Chains A and B, each alone.
Chain A
Amino acid sequence: MEEFIPEEYDVLRNAELCIACRVCERQCSNEVHKFDKDLNRMIADSAKCVNCHRCVSLCPTHALKIVKNPDTFRENYNWPSQAMKEIYRQANSGGVLLSSMGNPNEYPVYFNKILVNASQVTNPPIDPLREPMETVVYLGKKDVEMKRDINGRLVDTMPPQLKLSVPVMFSAMSYGSISYNAHEALARAAEELGIYYNTGEGGLHRDFYKYSKNTIVQVASGRFGVHSEYLSAAAAIEIKMGQGAKPGIGGHLPGMKISDEVSKTRMIPKGIDAISPAPHHDIYSIEDLRQLIYTIKEATAYSKPVIVKVAAVHNVAAIASGIARSGADIIAIDGFRGGTGAAPTRIRDNVGIPIELALAQVDERLRQEGIRDNVSIVVAGSVHSSADVVKAIALGADACYIGTAALLALGCHLCRSCHTGKCNWGIATQREDLVKRLNPDIGYKRLVNLVTAWGHEIQEMMGGMGINSIEALKGNRLMLRGVGLNETELRILGIKHAGE
């Protein structure tokens, strides 16, 4: 009854170069490669290949290539082969299709249609190599009363803030969905960079409490790993209401990824799928959210900012307005391109809206209502580069979360097979033999390199605009122009077209 589905990729081996060292065989957790004794050479089963490039990267003679399988069904614009294959898979299995990482489909990427300004003549660009160029950001509520002591000096009435050396943080990725070593790399990098990483809904491993000053802990609908020590340890607490890759549904951690340690950290049984509910069952409305925010604030003596993370959905501006009036200090908005360790394909590919539009609308709405100061805004969902960070901040964000970009720095090759738990790069797996492939000493350094490089680039772009502090870039939409965008898109983004 199983329909044969042609493989996506062909593994090509250059027989002249291959020395049959069998590295590829040892490295492939999908068991693509094997040495055939009868033939006395390496062979490959391309049907198992996910195109993670592990073998290609490690082949000492560069004998391997992964190419798109040229085999095609009869060409049909209306029924592309991907759609047909998915039908076959579902007819084979009767199941919901699962996918990993962000929405890969051909929707517009608005960041790529926005251009940044620079100074010429009437005001000078500023050279970050020769002048101070400030990228420090404080996240949290800003609307404070001015109070003075008896000497007339201003009293510091600021609610708790997160201080970032650059407006970039590592977004929520749970221990469980990613490995111990990946978490260690993120935590150490955040500490060295003076930024924050985020535990996701997987709890905080005992070993990582020492990085808690740079840790944002998450409280999600499954409440996995949440206890008072966990809350007290954190720099900030994030209530996860939604995720860009899968708005409207909860998380799903396959049982095979729930090892002893993951089980202990999450406080859930080993080996059984962990499915967090779609809603928080104590939050069916905005007033319920307010109660959870204040419950957490009470539990932590009002000493930590509370972040509320939502997926970018159609009415995100109204939702953000509600959150800004509910006691949250920071709103995190996750766009429809945001990554995931596992999500139903249909949801990942069809639900939610682009982060650029969501951000522009949330920022504008909060300003219209005069409550932009109530909260900081952090955006996520495919921030590809420092240029995207600059554009996001000029649209109105206070900072960005990066997830996929951070994983790429750790070695991820975006094969989008995290849900299988067999990540050859030691990132999205709990298999010990695979996890140890990711060396946290190297991984953390690569993350530090990435964010440091972005920091330099952000400074260069700011300097070009004649801006020497990131504060003066925030919401500075005159610094942006759209290219190839229609009037509705420009209106929603609140920017002019290039040439205007």
Chain B
Amino acid sequence: MFLNDMNLKNAPLEGEVRIPSGCAVSAIIDRSGKKMTGERIIRSIATMHDRSNGLGGGFAGYGIYPDYKEYYAFHLFYNDFQSKKETEDFLIQHFEVVYSSEMKTRKMKKITNEPLIYRYFLYPLSKRLANSLLGEEQYVVKCVNKINAEINGAFVFSSGKDMGIFKGVGFPEDIGKFYLLDEEYEGYSWTAHGRYPTNTPGWWGGAHPFGLLDYSVVHNGEISSYDANRRYIEMFGYKCSLQTDTEVITYVIDYLIRVKKLTLQEVAKVISASFWSTIDEKSEEEQRQEIFLRKAFPSLLITGPFSIIFGFTGGIMALNDRLKLRSMVCAEKGDIAYVSSEECGIRVIEPDVDKIFSPAGGQPIVYTLKEGGSL
């Protein structure tokens, strides 16, 4: 499946082994909603070239499909035309397919062994949806999981509305250009990821961001709580098939927001909880809230180093682990906000910022569109 040249053919596939990685992350959001191409985010992540090792790079763009914003945009990797046909048969049975096409890409020497890459704009068939007794989003997630688990050689790597994930094996700046993000797309917010896996077969689907509907996560770190988090979240119907940190973090955030209806600030207090000793120093009201969250969700505390940028419709959240074991810097210039693993990733595209700071461990930084994000 989408094996890269550099892969040893007898190495295990992604998902068969647990793969820790180091990484670079970066994000830009224009809170006024004004759109920009992917050119700047590519330059930002390219500056941190040495934080990746060529085994994975990717981007998420929000607001990029204004003409189809009511429809779920599926991005798919196919091994071959057989898997494409099987998948399209499945899609037609479950969705109204409004538009489909091969993804436009730029041929590049540095990007090899790319799979077939297709894009579909879809809406669930109303009768099918009604019969499923599921909510619309659950229905879509279920279909995505079914394709990924059951159709050999097909992988849905983006499934949100008015957003898209673009990723592959290579350095992130090359992946960005490969997908023509600098020319073809304009979004109000972009996140980026350069991967430094310590053990990977180099699978296109294994690159990041990891997405679930319109949620996307880019992550740098190696969490030590992985199996505690995984075994807990799998109680609620999630299946961590890729065995990556990013995957489990995405599911944890999805569960807390969508199922438990927590706010982003509350989510941060669960996954990157304040130390008990810190909580002791807070106001009575804050103590009550934070102790309650730690008591209720002890198994969703994430330990070990991480810096994540969580993307959603209308905003981004940057969050570090509670000890801040990974670097992450935020900056603002007018309406535009930046997040990056290193300051250079911001300075290279905006040398003259109004404000620049390093968020403390466990302190969530949330930037949303001025007219209000969805969360």
Interface residues of B in 289-333 (CB under 8 A from A): 289, 291-299, 301-305, 322-323, 325
Given contacts A123-B224, A471-B228, A475-B231, contact A153 B20 (CB under 8 A): no
Chain A residue nearest to B260 (CB atoms) is A146
**Contact present for A474 and B299 (CB under 8 Å):** yes
**Contact present for A468 and B322 (CB under 8 Å):** yes
Q: Which residues of chain A are within 8 angstroms of B20 by Cβ–Cβ distance?
A: 122-123
In the complex, A126→B232 CA distance in Å?
24
**Contact present for B228 and A475 (CB under 8 Å):** yes
Q: How far is the CB of B14 from chain A (nearest CB, A)?
A: 17
In the complex, A142→B236 CA distance in Å?
14
Given contacts A475-B299, A476-B226, contact A156 B276 (CB under 8 A): no
B198 CB-CB contact with A under 8 Å: yes
- Per-position contact with A for B231-268: 1 when CB-CB < 8 Å, else 0? 11011100000000000000000000000111000100
In the complex, A471→B228 CA distance in Å?
8
Partner of A478, one of B18, B275, B292, B298: B18
Given contacts A123-B304, A131-B323, A370-B235, contact A472 B275 (CB under 8 A): no
**Contact present for A475 and B275 (CB under 8 Å):** no
Q: How far is the CB of B69 from chain A (nearest CB, A)?
A: 29
Q: Which residues of chain B are within 8 angstroms of A490 by Cβ–Cβ distance?
A: none
A173 CB-CB contact with B under 8 Å: no
Interface residues of B in 212-227 (CB under 8 A from A): 221-227
A467 CB-CB contact with B under 8 Å: yes
In the complex, A131→B277 CA distance in Å?
11
**Contact present for B303 and A468 (CB under 8 Å):** yes
A188 CB-CB contact with B under 8 Å: no
B142 CB-CB contact with A under 8 Å: no
Chain B residue nearest to A121 (CB atoms) is B198
Given contacts A138-B295, A154-B289, A472-B303, contact A126 B276 (CB under 8 A): no
Q: Which residues of chain B are within 8 angstroms of A146 by Cβ–Cβ distance?
A: 260-262
Interface residues of A in 158-186 (CB under 8 A from B): 158, 161
Partner of B227, one of A134, A153, A372, A479: A479
In the complex, A467→B22 CA distance in Å?
18
**Contact present for B222 and A123 (CB under 8 Å):** yes
A144 CB-CB contact with B under 8 Å: yes
**Contact present for B323 and A126 (CB under 8 Å):** yes
**Contact present for A132 and B275 (CB under 8 Å):** yes
Partner of A158, one of B225, B276, B289, B296: B296
Given contacts A132-B275, A154-B292, A156-B288, contact A367 B225 (CB under 8 A): no
A124 CB-CB contact with B under 8 Å: yes
A344 CB-CB contact with B under 8 Å: no
Q: Which residues of chain B are within 8 angstroms of A469 by Cβ–Cβ distance?
A: 273, 301, 303
**Contact present for A466 and B228 (CB under 8 Å):** no
Mostly, the A contact residues are loop
The CB with the most chain A CB atoms within 10 A, among B226, B303, B305, is that of B303
**Contact present for B288 and A466 (CB under 8 Å):** no
Q: How far is the CB of A93 from chain B (nearest CB, A)?
A: 51
**Contact present for B276 and A134 (CB under 8 Å):** yes
Q: Which residues of chain B are within 8 angstroms of A161 by Cβ–Cβ distance?
A: 295
Q: How far is the CB of B221 from chain A (nearest CB, A)?
A: 7
**Contact present for B303 and A467 (CB under 8 Å):** yes
A493 CB-CB contact with B under 8 Å: no
Q: Which residues of chain B are within 8 angstroms of A42 by Cβ–Cβ distance?
A: none
Q: Which residues of chain B are within 8 angstroms of A367 by Cβ–Cβ distance?
A: 231-232, 234-235
B371 CB-CB contact with A under 8 Å: no
**Contact present for B234 and A138 (CB under 8 Å):** no
Q: Which residues of chain B are within 8 angstroms of A267 by Cβ–Cβ distance?
A: none
A477 CB-CB contact with B under 8 Å: yes
In the complex, A466→B18 CA distance in Å?
17
A187 CB-CB contact with B under 8 Å: no
Q: How many residues of A contact B (CB 8 A)?
A: 38
- Per-position contact with A for B269-290: 1 when CB-CB < 8 Å, else 0? 0000101110000000100110
A465 CB-CB contact with B under 8 Å: yes
Partner of B225, one of A119, A373, A467: A467
Partner of A471, one of B198, B222, B289, B301: B301
**Contact present for B228 and A472 (CB under 8 Å):** yes
Partner of A472, one of B22, B225, B235, B292: B225
Q: How far is the CB of A236 from chain B (nearest CB, A)?
A: 16
Q: Which residues of chain B are within 8 angstroms of A477 by Cβ–Cβ distance?
A: 227, 231
Q: Which residues of chain A are within 8 angstroms of B260 by Cβ–Cβ distance?
A: 146
In the complex, A472→B234 CA distance in Å?
15
Q: Which residues of chain B are within 8 angstroms of A195 by Cβ–Cβ distance?
A: none
Q: Which residues of chain A are within 8 angstroms of B231 by Cβ–Cβ distance?
A: 367, 396, 475-477
Q: How far is the CB of B226 from chain A (nearest CB, A)?
A: 6
Q: Which residues of chain A are within 8 angstroms of B22 by Cβ–Cβ distance?
A: 122
In the complex, A142→B301 CA distance in Å?
14
- Per-position contact with B for A125-167: 1 when CB-CB < 8 Å, else 0? 0100001101010100010101000000110111001000000
**Contact present for A142 and B295 (CB under 8 Å):** yes
A101 CB-CB contact with B under 8 Å: no
**Contact present for B296 and A467 (CB under 8 Å):** no
In the complex, A123→B273 CA distance in Å?
19
In the complex, A158→B291 CA distance in Å?
10
In the complex, A479→B228 CA distance in Å?
10
Q: How far is the CB of B255 from chain A (nearest CB, A)?
A: 12
A473 CB-CB contact with B under 8 Å: yes
The CB with the most chain B CB atoms within 10 A, among A123, A367, A468, A469, is that of A123
Q: Which residues of chain A are within 8 angstroms of B261 by Cβ–Cβ distance?
A: 146
**Contact present for A471 and B292 (CB under 8 Å):** no
Given contacts A134-B275, A146-B261, A154-B292, contact A475 B232 (CB under 8 A): yes
**Contact present for A474 and B292 (CB under 8 Å):** no
- Per-position contact with A for B325-358: 1 when CB-CB < 8 Å, else 0? 1000000000000000000000000000000000
Chain A residue nearest to B289 (CB atoms) is A154
In the complex, A323→B226 CA distance in Å?
28
**Contact present for A122 and B222 (CB under 8 Å):** yes
In the complex, A370→B198 CA distance in Å?
33
Q: Which residues of chain B are within 8 angstroms of A476 by Cβ–Cβ distance?
A: 224-228, 231
**Contact present for B301 and A472 (CB under 8 Å):** yes
Given contacts A122-B22, A138-B295, A370-B236, contact A478 B226 (CB under 8 A): yes
Given contacts A142-B296, A476-B227, contact A372 B275 (CB under 8 A): no
In the complex, A373→B303 CA distance in Å?
20
Q: Which residues of chain B are within 8 angstroms of A119 by Cβ–Cβ distance?
A: 224, 304
Q: How far is the CB of A160 from chain B (nearest CB, A)?
A: 11
Given contacts A475-B228, A478-B226, contact A467 B304 (CB under 8 A): yes
**Contact present for B224 and A472 (CB under 8 Å):** yes
**Contact present for B323 and A122 (CB under 8 Å):** no
**Contact present for B303 and A466 (CB under 8 Å):** yes
Chain B residue nearest to A145 (CB atoms) is B260
Q: Which residues of chain A are within 8 angstroms of B323 by Cβ–Cβ distance?
A: 126, 131, 468
Q: Which residues of chain B are within 8 angstroms of A473 by Cβ–Cβ distance?
A: 225, 228
Pick the 6 closest A-B CB pairs, nearest first: A472-B225, A478-B227, A466-B224, A471-B298, A476-B228, A123-B222
Known: A473-B225, A475-B231, A476-B225. 4 other contacts (CB 8 A): A153-B289, A154-B266, A370-B235, A479-B227
**A residues with CB within 8 A of B:** 119, 122-124, 126, 131-132, 134, 136, 138, 142, 144, 146, 153-154, 156-158, 161, 367, 370, 372-373, 396, 465-469, 471-479
Pull 14 A–B residue pairs with CB atoms less than 8 Å apart, ordered by A. A122-B222, A123-B223, A123-B224, A134-B275, A138-B298, A142-B295, A156-B291, A156-B292, A370-B235, A468-B322, A471-B299, A472-B228, A472-B303, A474-B299
